[in-house]
Amino acid sequence: MTPKGPGKGKGRGQEASGGGGGMGGGRALGPGGQCICPQCGEKVTHERGVPCFDVKCPKCGTYMTRE
Ligand SMILES: [Zn+2]
């Protein structure tokens, strides 16, 4: 006598699809840049952490901009 047991469930393979794609974006403008004065064209070395538009031109006092 062979008891008819219920069929075993289909073994589901666990899908290991880990989306660990690292986004290498967000690259800030590295140091070593320069700020330029839109007024007189004076260039100063851009200080890290100090946005150019926060720096005044040493010559004419105009706020600089990123070159
Ligand atoms: Zn200037």
Find the farthest-apart pair of alpha carbons in the chain and give their distance in angstroms, rounded.
103
Which pLDDT belongs to residue 20? 53
> What DSSP designation does 56 have?
B
Question: What CA–CA distance (Å, rounded) separates 49 from 31?
Answer: 9
Tokens of 8: 């075993």
Give pTM, 2 decimals: 0.51
Instruction: Report how far ligand 1's centroid is from the alpha carbon of 32 (Å).
Output: 20
Instruction: Report how far ligand 1's centroid is from the alpha carbon of 41 (Å).
Output: 6
pLDDT tens sequence across 6-56: 777 777 777 766 555 544 444 455 556 899 999 999 999 998 889 999 999
Question: Which has more pLDDT, 5 or 56?
Answer: 56
Q: Counting every residue, how long is the chain? A: 67
Question: Which has more pLDDT, 2 or 63?
Answer: 63
Q: How many CB atoms lie within 10 A of CB 36?
A: 18
Instruction: Report how far ligand 1's centroid is from the alpha carbon of 54 (Å).
Output: 13
